[in-house]
Chains A and B, each alone.
Chain A
Amino acid sequence: MNIGLRKINFGVISVVMFIISPFIALIALIAKLFKVDIHNLDPLKKRGPYSSYLVSKWLGNSGSAQHNRTFSIFLMPSLATFSLFVIYTFINGVYLSMTNWNGLNTGHELFVGLSNYVSMFNDYGFVYSLYKTILYSLLNIFAINIVAFFLAMLVTQNLKLKNLYRAGFFLPNLIGGLVLGYIWQFIFNRAVTSLGGSFATSLLVSGDTALLGLIIVVTWQYAGYIMMIYIAALQNVPQDLIEASKIDGANAYQRLRTIIMPLVAQAFTVSMFLTLVTSFKQYDTVMSLTNGGPGTLLPQWIASLFGLSALPAVSSNNLIALNIYQEAFSRYQLGVGQAKAIVFFIFLLSVSLLQVYYNKRKEVEL
């Protein structure tokens, strides 16, 4: 028989054995209760090439067979669940994004090629949502990182209660985004408006300011967390460099600009990456704060892209993660929703790679 073909077959057999070994182990365990060792196979017995491979590599009592079995038993539980729930669903998702799946025809949906992708970009609501997500992410990255860096600078000074402040600033981050959204909905709509005067209308009522409300909530939640990353970086800045710059007559701003900032650039890379990814994926706070609303008019420039003369109404805080969810579960366009999710994934991946690449160039090694 062809040796090359046999090698391929051995490869296939070992993958199969890798997958089913945990089940064999279960049988072996039960057999052991009845004092039977199913792996007790005579290694010297004359066998064909395949069965001798199976015995020596998987089923027998040899060291290599035992190792292969433990390898499989240790890896399979997590690998199998992970493959099923993440990898399989992802690949399935790529296929489903090219079907007319609408929730009712599950199992009978038809392949429609790329038409979901085309129709998605013909939908001004989606383009608006993409634009709002990018705008939100940019503003959010700035707000969170500036506040977090400022807080980190503050609590790395020689303050008496600095540990208390750190814990205090970190605290909002422990509460889930959904719960926070409701808390702030109350604050914006009830507590602040009860002050009257120029506070009488809530930020969340108008489409122009609702995004600002969301940024306030998320900054409050996330700044303390990012602060911790900056604290770790600031504490690694060597004190002698600071001392040397003081002797050379640098003022506080110059020290910050030319010594501290370059040395904590790595923390900026990490923090901006984290804030970028969380802003893009933000779902629960957006949902609970305004559920995508309030309604507003489509901006003129997007309307002119689509050649619309009258400005249609859109939801001002309908960020992309929420838009995907609503497309799937309110409009029952699961295929289109999935296509949006794939675009979202590709977009997020490229933007974050670009951001990390760009930031990395500014880092300084000590």
Chain B
Amino acid sequence: MKKSWLRKTFTPLLLLEILGFTLMLIFFVPLVLVIINASKDAAEIIRTPLSLPTDWSNLIKNITEIMTRDNIDYLSAFVNSFVITIVSLILIGVLSAMAAWMLVRTKTKYSFVIFMFFLAGMVIPFQVVMLPLVRLLENLRGLTGIPFKDTYHGVILAYIGFGTPLSVFMFHGFIKSIPIDIEEAAIIDGCTKPQVFFKIVLPILKPVFVTMLVLNGMWIWNDYLLPVLVIGLGGDVKTLPLSVASLAGFYDKEWALILTSVLMAALPVLILFLFAQKHIIKGMTSGAIK
């Protein structure tokens, strides 16, 4: 009697459910550890890193600390990261959609060659061009008199250069599947080519545009290597990863503050994930499969 009750309750599916739930909890352990330890003071974190904090108000104290100390200055790092990510995303999106549309709709050998040129750029890893990149930015300053290192426009231009190939490739694939009839009808109605693009094609591109935003956005927001080369750990327009790295390097092992800054750096993306989970997962994976 007892055995059949056991079998009825603990079906294989329920066991799998329990397994899934446990695994998910294990996956969350590191994040939970960050939150509970960001709410401790320096002494407590050394003594009991695994227990719950005695006083949660330490979290507020730690947050105000990283907000106000000038050499961390979370707020300005957040603003810098935000500006760089948003401006780069908009420019990469619009410029590469423009390029991809022109390449699809102009069927000449030139457009094929240019497209292949973009594709060739996708296989080049960043490490191969990072040293010449720093040199190029210095040379550009010599040529134009405008500084490019440690400025918004320098970083953004670099991101446009490195983000373009994949985005052009993604837009190219999508635009090929759009029937040309709509655009021809618009031309007959008197639209100029730019009008056709901005009023008709760009709205149709919305789904790929979202994919592109997610893919490039996650990369730019979390990127460390390009900013550390172009901006530097002591730069004026430090992004969030840079400010976390300089905190971890400078205040060696001041874990309460490091973990608070880690938490604050991850928080914007995690909040975004709560609201746009479907788009983010779809964007990040469908971009990869292509």
- Which of B125, B221, B241 sits near A284, CB closer than 8 Å? B241
Q: Report B-chain residues with C-beta under 8 Å of the C-beta of A195.
A: 50
Which residues of chain A come closer than 8 Å to B131, judged between CB atoms?
93, 96, 328, 334, 337-338, 341
* In the complex, per-residue mask of B193-236: 1 if CB is within 8 Å of any chain A CB, else 0: 11001000000000000000000001001111100000000000
> When the two chains form their complex, are residues A194 and B49 in contact, meaning their CB atoms are under 8 A apart?
yes
B23 within 8 A of A: yes
- The reply to whether A154 and B23 contact each other, CB–CB distance below 8 Å, is yes
Verify B106–A71 contact, CB threshold 8 A: yes
When each residue 221-235 of chain A gets 1 if its CB lies under 8 Å from chain B and 0 otherwise, what string results? Answer: 000110011001000
Q: Confirm or deny: A118 has a beta carbon within 8 angstroms of a beta carbon on chain B.
A: no
Distance to closest chain B CB from A78 (angstroms): 4
- Contact (Cβ within 8 A) A183 B223: no
**Whose C-beta in chain B lies nearest to the C-beta of A221?**
B30
**B188 lies within 8 A of chain A by Cβ:** no
Q: Name the residue on A nearest B221 (C-beta).
A: A176
- Residue interface mask A191-220, B partner, CB < 8 A = 1: 100110000000000000000000000001
Q: Does more than half of chain B's interface fall in helix, strand or loop, or is it mixed?
A: helix
CB-based contact A344/B99 at 8 Å: no
Say whether, besides A168-B28, A270-B289, A174 and B280 are in contact (CB < 8 Å).
yes
Q: Tell me how far the C-beta of B103 lies from the nearest C-beta in chain A, rounded to whole angstroms.
A: 7
Residue of A nearest to B245 (CB): A178
**Nearest B-chain residue to A91, judged by Cβ:** B132
Q: Point out the residues of chain A lying under 8 angstroms from B157, CB to CB.
A: 81, 85
A170 touches B281 (CB 8 A): yes
Contact: B20 with A155, CB < 8 Å? yes
Beyond A78-B95, A229-B288, whether A165 also contacts B24 by CB under 8 A is: yes
Q: Which of the residues A172, A228, A288 comes within 8 Å of B281, measured between beta carbons? A: A228
B178 part of interface (Cβ distance < 8 Å)? no
Q: Does A186 interact with chain B (Cβ within 8 Å)?
A: yes
Is A177 touching B224 in the complex (CB atoms < 8 A)? yes
Contact yes or no, A183 B133, CB < 8 A: no
| Chain B: minimal CB distance from A154 (Å) | 6
Q: How far is the CB of A203 from chain B (nearest CB, A)?
A: 14
Contact between chains at B102 and A78 (CB < 8 Å): no
Q: Which of B16, B27, B98, B218 has the most CB of A within 10 A?
A: B27
Given contacts A160-B17, A176-B221, A228-B281, contact A70 B194 (CB under 8 A): yes
Q: Is the CB of A78 within 8 A of B164?
A: yes
Q: A78-B160, A167-B277, A229-B285 are in contact. Are A93 and B132 (CB under 8 A)?
A: yes
**B48 in contact with A194 (CB, 8 Å):** yes
Q: How far is the CA of A229 from the CA of B95 in the complex (A)?
A: 29
Tell whether A174 pairs with B28 under 8 Å between CB atoms, given A96-B132, A179-B244.
no
Chain A interface, >50% SS class? helix
**Is there contact, CB below 8 Å, between A173 and B289?**
no
Let me know if A191 and B225 touch, CB within 8 A.
no
Give CA–CA (A96, B133) in the complex, Å. Answer: 12
Question: In the complex where A106-B135, A179-B222, A338-B132 touch, is A84 in contact with B101 (Cβ < 8 A)?
Answer: no
Residues of B within 8 A of A184 (CB): 30
Question: Bound complex: CA of A88 vs CA of B265, how far in Å?
Answer: 34
Interface size class of A (residues with CB under 8 A): 35 or more
Docked complex Cα distance between A345 and B125 (Å): 7
Point out the residue from A77, A83, A167, A341 that lies within 8 Å of B95, measured CB to CB. A77
CA of A320 to CA of B103, assembled, Å:
37
Interface size class of B (residues with CB under 8 A): 35 or more
Residues 149-175 (chain B) with a chain A CB within 8 angstroms: 157-158, 160-162, 164-165, 168
B33: Cβ under 8 A from any A Cβ: yes
Beta-carbon contact of A228 and B284 below 8 Å: yes
Rounded to whole angstroms, the CA-CA distance of A184 and B102 in the bound complex is: 46
Flag if A165 contacts B23 (CB, 8 Å). yes
In whole angstroms, what is the CA distance A166 to B164 when docked?
A: 30
Contact check, A161 vs B20: say whether CB atoms are below 8 A apart: yes
* A47-82 interface code vs B (CB 8 A; 1 in, 0 out): 000000000000000000011001100110111011
Specify which chain B residues have a CB less than 8 angstroms from the CB of A277 in the assembled complex: 125
8 Å CB contacts to B: which residues of A276-298?
277, 280-281, 283-284, 287-288
A174-B30 Cα distance, complex, nearest whole Å? 14
Using Cβ atoms and an 8 Å threshold, which residues of chain B touch A75?
A: 98-99, 102-103, 114
Most chain B CB neighbours (cut-off 10 Å) among A159, A164, A280: A159
Contact: B241 with A179, CB < 8 Å? yes
Give the segment of B2-10, B58-66, B69-77, B254-262 that binds chain A.
B254-262
Query: Taking the nearest CB of chain B, how far is it from the CB of A333, in angstroms?
Result: 11
Please name the 4 residue pairs, one residue from A and one from B, whose CB atoms are nearest each other, closest first. Answer: A85-B161, A176-B222, A89-B132, A168-B24
* Besides A85-B160, A191-B49, A325-B127, 6 new A-B residue pairs in contact (Cβ under 8 A), listed by A number: A82-B164, A85-B158, A164-B24, A172-B30, A174-B266, A283-B127
Residues of B within 8 A of A (CB): 13, 16-17, 19-21, 23-24, 27-28, 30-31, 33-34, 37, 45-46, 48-50, 95-96, 98-99, 101-103, 106, 114, 117-118, 120-121, 123-133, 135-136, 138, 157-158, 160-162, 164-165, 168, 193-194, 197, 218, 221-225, 241, 244-245, 248, 255, 258-259, 262, 265-266, 269-270, 273, 277, 280-281, 284-285, 288-289
Report 21 cross-chain contacts, Cβ distance below 8 Å, ordered by A residue: A84-B136, A154-B19, A159-B13, A169-B24, A171-B28, A171-B31, A173-B284, A174-B269, A178-B244, A186-B49, A220-B27, A229-B285, A229-B288, A232-B285, A232-B289, A274-B288, A283-B225, A288-B248, A325-B130, A338-B132, A341-B128
